[in-house]
Amino acid sequence: MLLPIADPPSGPDGVVALLRALLRAARRQRVALVLWCLACIAAAALYAYTATPSYTATARILLDPRRPTPAPSQESAALLDASRAESELQVLRSERLLALVFQKLNLIDHPEFSPKPPGVVDLLRARIDAALRVVRPAPSRDEVRQSVFEAFERNLSARRVGQSYVIEVSYSATDPDLARKVANAAVSAYLWQSLVVKAEAAKSGAEFIQGRVTTLNLEVQAAAAAVAGGTLPAAPTPDADARVIGAALQPLKPTAPRKPLILMFGAAVGVFGGFLALAAGLAMDRRIRHRSDIEIKLGMSCLAAIPEVSRRIVSRRGRRMELASLASSRPTGAFGSALRDLRIAIELAAIGKAHESNFAVALVPCTPRAGSTLIGANLACLLRDAGTRVTIIDADMSGSPEWDVLDPASTTAPCLADLLKHGPVAEPMHLPVSRGVRVIPARSQSVVVDHVVYLGGPAMTQVVEDARLEGCVILDLPPLSRVAEARVAALCADMVVVVAEAGRTTLDELDDAVRTLRSAGANVIGAVLNRVRT
């Protein structure tokens, strides 16, 4: 009979369930996640400490709210409003003013704007042009000048400080002295421009007085000299529409790259990118990791979730016998508790069968290394401890000789291949250590016999029935993906348990194995999830 599915424990759904799944995935992939985060931080650190440092210098000017009138005959100028401040800000950003600074400082020949070595994109474009035999003309002097000026313009910024009349003019460059000169020159150019306008108005206006014109000319000359030298005017400029409240000083520390911020960004990219990859992996991952995957997603009863056994025990040949009886020798451990759950589930499924006391159960692995042999050995020891005689039949002709390792003397005992080929010849021999458990190994001394025997014939049924006369039978079958006739051999057993390996067997593989067995008429009572990581 098919055992009922245990109701899964009720718990939060939605975002909380997704977060728990992500945390479990992060725990499984913690090494890869940590390595990815370290790689992102290392890449960020490599960029932060190898990128060319940039320095920013800032000068500040204050727009005068009220401009003095040049003569008593004129009315007082209106107060400087917000729109007027924005207009002056655009004047500071104007191409004409920036072109004046660019020309006076002779930046076209400055090393800051010298041609850079070709980058990856340039090299790729050159290769494409060479392949297509495209000849691009060399840029003209005007095009080079325009390109350099656009680069200069991008590095200069002017902004208003809040809602005040203070304007900050900043320039960023790899040369700190150049950053200082350009910021001061831009401010001086703005002052010069406003003074030139007033000087021209004074010459053509009613107040054409020689003394005032001379004063304005001196202020204009001071502002022009400041633009050319990248400094502030040496003489006062009271007639300008603004006054300097902060000169641009040569920066002592680079403003970019911001190393702490870049490192934090690299760490954030590592963490969020890692969890995003984990979420994408969860969405596409069909591997079985928990018993709830079998019960909820496939609607199948998971008879037991057996934890993974330490590989150090498995790798030692001398301890294979201890491993085969691990559930019996360590009954309080998680491995022993899981095997007892499996034994109880099989005994409950055997109730009402014709051979209730001497039942036959077949273990069918989904994959070659699912671990059905280990489960069968420990299940036999538990049944033996309960006073039941057990016979293990190894039906995996092409698999590794696990039972030969468990019982070295069984290499000379009658094997399943000989029994299927020639009929029963002798009683199966007992394991010398696990008394009460009989083993029929799979392989014959003849390789030819191993390849010609058929597990689905009447001889296989006779072998199982003969073994059933002595007690319970555990039939260790090969995986269906490798031996198709295993589904026919499963009909010899009263019940079938499919063994899946946690983290490797997919839901599709388990579902296909169960459907294949049931389509052949096998009584699949549930699945066992082996090697669950705790």
CA distances from 311 to 91, 260, 314, 323 (A): 76, 43, 5, 11
**Lowest-confidence region among 80-89, 167-176, 197-206:** 197-206
Report helix, strand or coil for 484: coil
Q: Which helix (H) or strand (E) holds 406?
A: helix 402-406
Total-model pTM: 0.61
Amino acid residing at 28? R
Do 32 and 84 lie in one domain? The reply is no
384 within a domain of the structure (yes/no):
yes
Pairing of strands 495-501, 360-365: parallel
Task: Place 472 in a pLDDT band, splitting at 50, 70 and 90.
Answer: very high
Could you tell me which residue, 345 or 326, shows the higher pLDDT? 345
Task: Place 405 in a pLDDT band, splitting at 50, 70 and 90.
Answer: very low
Q: What is the pLDDT of residue 73?
A: 43
| CATH code, 512 | 3.40.50.300
4 within a domain of the structure (yes/no):
no
- Number of domains comprising the chain: 3
Q: Do residues 467 and 419 make contact, with C-beta atoms less than 8 angstroms apart?
A: no
**Lowest-confidence region among 209-218, 252-261, 456-465:** 209-218
Could you tell me which residue, 422 or 300, shows the higher pLDDT? 300
Convert 257-288 to b/e letters by CB count within 10 Å (16 or more is b): bebeebbebbeebbeeebbeebeeeeeeeebb
Task: Place 45 in a pLDDT band, splitting at 50, 70 and 90.
Answer: very high
Do 230 and 265 lie in one domain? The reply is no
- With CA atoms as reference, report the closest residue to 169 among 88, 70, 281: 88
Task: Place 72 in a pLDDT band, splitting at 50, 70 and 90.
Answer: very low
Q: What is the pLDDT of residue 497?
A: 97
298 within a domain of the structure (yes/no):
yes
Could you tell me which residue, 385 or 328, shows the higher pLDDT? 385
Question: Is 496 a residue whose pLDDT tops 90?
Answer: yes
Q: What is the pLDDT of residue 209?
A: 60
Could you tell me which residue, 297 or 302, shows the higher pLDDT? 302
Q: Which helix (H) or strand (E) holds 251?
A: none
Q: Which domain holds residue 393?
A: 291-532
Mean predicted confidence (pLDDT) in 56-60: 92
Q: What is the pLDDT of residue 82?
A: 74
For helices 176-204 and 95-104, the axis angle rounded to 10 degrees is 120
Task: Place 365 in a pLDDT band, splitting at 50, 70 and 90.
Answer: very high
- With CA atoms as reference, report the closest residue to 68 among 211, 226, 235, 207: 207
Do 157 and 273 lie in one domain? The reply is no
Q: What is the per-residue pLDDT across 73-96, written as a single tens digit (0 to 9) for each?
A: 444 444 567 778 888 888 888 888
For helices 95-104 and 210-229, the axis angle rounded to 10 degrees is 70
Q: What is the pLDDT of residue 413?
A: 59
Do 191 and 338 lie in one domain? The reply is no
- With CA atoms as reference, report the closest residue to 492 among 346, 388, 375, 355: 355
Please identify which residue in the block is written with the tokens 């210098």: 57
Do 333 and 214 lie in one domain? The reply is no
Q: What is the pLDDT of residue 87?
A: 85
Q: What is the pLDDT of residue 165?
A: 86
CA distances from 401 to 182, 188, 450, 475 (A): 83, 92, 13, 15
Do 22 and 145 lie in one domain? The reply is no
Do 207 and 274 lie in one domain? The reply is no
Mean predicted confidence (pLDDT) in 212-222: 74
Question: Is 206 a residue whose pLDDT tops 90?
Answer: no
254 within a domain of the structure (yes/no):
no
8 within a domain of the structure (yes/no):
no
Q: What is the pLDDT of residue 380?
A: 92
10 within a domain of the structure (yes/no):
no
249 within a domain of the structure (yes/no):
no
- With CA atoms as reference, report the closest residue to 528 among 392, 267, 340: 340
Report helix, strand or coil for 138: coil
Do 29 and 114 lie in one domain? The reply is no
Q: Do residues 498 and 304 make contact, with C-beta atoms less than 8 angstroms apart?
A: no
Phi, psi angles (nearest 5°) of residue 170: -125, 150
Do 274 and 367 lie in one domain? The reply is no
Do 295 and 403 lie in one domain? The reply is yes
Do 217 and 279 lie in one domain? The reply is no
Considering the chain, what percentage of its residues have pLDDT values greater than 70? 78
Do 41 and 109 lie in one domain? The reply is no
Amino acid residing at 169? V
Task: Place 121 in a pLDDT band, splitting at 50, 70 and 90.
Answer: low
483 within a domain of the structure (yes/no):
yes
The residues pairing with 157 across neighbouring beta strands, listed in sequence order, are: 170
**Lowest-confidence region among 273-287, 322-336, 414-428:** 414-428
